[in-house]
Amino acid sequence: MSKETFDAITVIAVRKAKFYVRSRDELLKRVPSSVDRDEVNVALRKAISLVDNSLFIGKNETVTRVIDPSTPIEQLDLDTDKIISEVIRKLSSL
Amino acid sequence: MWRHMSTFAREKLNEDRKPDRVNKSLLHGLGCKLCDSRCWTATGSTCHCDCGGLNHGGGSRGFRTRAHSGRPSWILSQSRPPRLRELHIPPQSVGRSGGGGLSAVRSFLLGVGKTALVAALLAGLTAVHPVIGAVATKAYALYGHGMAGVALYNTYTKWKSGELTTPQAAGEVTRTVTGEATGGASDMFASNMVTGMKQTRVIEQISRETNVDPLVTSDMLKGTISASESQGFADLAGYIVRSEAGA
């Protein structure tokens, strides 16, 4: 693995982590109290981490082929619907 | 002889002698909807039994590959899988790959530890399209994974029914099979890499800079590296298919 690939993967992993933190809070609000929250967290973390990396690269970044780690996830114009459907697909296959 | 045999060995022997009866009674006991000749000869996608259409057009042997919820998959083996010597590899399967390809597939099929189901699927795929079959065989042989068999079977049936064109089938085989088949290898690579990053305190540093919990960071890195590696394998396999098929 080259240094450039490693750097890009690290940035994408951090973006996934931030996406996880946001979606976890949303998800936990809807989960009944009887469900084990730790179990939900672990499954969600695993599912998000395995989602296709290209979904966490902004449209501008794809055009310029430069990933800027300082860009906040909200400004990336990510296809959130596609990410969520991928996460659900991964969750069902875990 | 019976006196010296353990109960388990006796049961196993009986099961081997009458596989259909034993497995069917188990299945009835569990409330499963068994496949029958209506399912095995069906050509459409509507299915009224537990296979969900996977056994359609499979002939009287009837593979069952989809696991039923909450039950171990081995219980669902409705009839015994075909033995290797029963597999028919037609002569036209030599195709553009030449005789070398066929002998490689044949020797792979005879390899110890490969399930008869996957072997049958690979043989069928190779017979229909030698290039896809050769790549799929290599992928399975290299990374060995049970899910590869299911993915191959699905692609093969779609290709056979005309749902997928040859280039589409090639794309699907490379994407799905390499994704499934290389999952274990990629996970292991990712896990080793993250362990190294923990030891060198790289994860701690990333977490500090990004204000993300170290546990979350390491989990995300593991999955992201694994997904990246799987994609790399898929791209490589896609390149091989495209160059061999001249697409």
- Per-residue pLDDT tens digits for A20-67: 888 887 777 777 777 777 877 888 888 899 888 888 888 888 888 788
Rounded to whole angstroms, the Cα distance separating B187 from A40 reads: 21
Rounded to whole angstroms, the Cα distance separating A80 from A15 reads: 13
Burial class (CB in 10 A: 0-12, 13-18, 19+), B237: buried
Which whole number is the average pLDDT over A57-78? 82
> For tokens 């008869």, what's the residue?
B116
> For tokens 């730790």, what's the residue?
A38
Mutate to test the interface with A, among B219, B229, B231, B235 (most CBs of A within 10 A): B219
Q: Is the dihedral of CA A13, A19, A22, A28 positive or negative?
A: negative
Burial class (CB in 10 A: 0-12, 13-18, 19+), B240: middle
- Has residue B207 got a pLDDT over 60? yes
Rounded to whole angstroms, the Cα distance separating B47 from B62 reads: 14
Q: Which of A50-64, B92-106, B169-183, B206-220 bottoms out in mean pLDDT, i.e. has the lowest?
A: B92-106
Interchain proximity B227–A46, CB inside 8 Å: no
Q: pLDDT exceeding 90 applies to what percent of chain B?
A: 1
Q: Kindly state the tokens that stand for B78.
A: 């409705």
CB pairs under 8 A between A and B: 61
Q: Is residue B183 within 8 Å of B144, Cβ to Cβ? A: no
At A16 the pLDDT is: 92
Interchain proximity A9–B228, CB inside 8 Å: yes
Q: Kindly state the tokens that stand for B74.
A: 């081995």
Q: What is the pLDDT of residues B24-49, one digit of tens each?
A: 433 343 444 556 667 666 777 677 66
At B43 the pLDDT is: 72
Helix, coil or strand: residue A85: helix
Rounded to whole angstroms, the Cα distance separating B154 from B160 reads: 10
CB of B223 less than 8 A from some CB of A: yes
Q: Kindly state the tokens that stand for B38.
A: 């209506």
Q: Is residue B56 within 8 Å of B71, Cβ to Cβ? A: no
> Using the 8-state DSSP alphabet, how is residue A76 labeled?
G
Looking at this predicted complex, what is its ipTM?
A: 0.88
C-alpha distances out from residue B103 to B86, B106, B130, B143, Å: 17, 5, 12, 20
Burial class (CB in 10 A: 0-12, 13-18, 19+), B234: buried
Question: Who wins on pLDDT, B150 or B24?
Answer: B150
CA-nearest residue to B208 within chain A is: A14
Question: Who wins on pLDDT, A50 or B186?
Answer: A50
* C-alpha distance from A16 to closest chain B C-alpha (Å): 7
Question: Who wins on pLDDT, B38 or B20?
Answer: B38
- Has residue B61 got a pLDDT over 70? no
Instruction: Label residue A85 by pLDDT band (50, 70, 90).
Output: confident
- pTM exceeding 0.80: no
Note which residues in 228-247 of chain B have CB less than 8 A from chain A: 228, 231
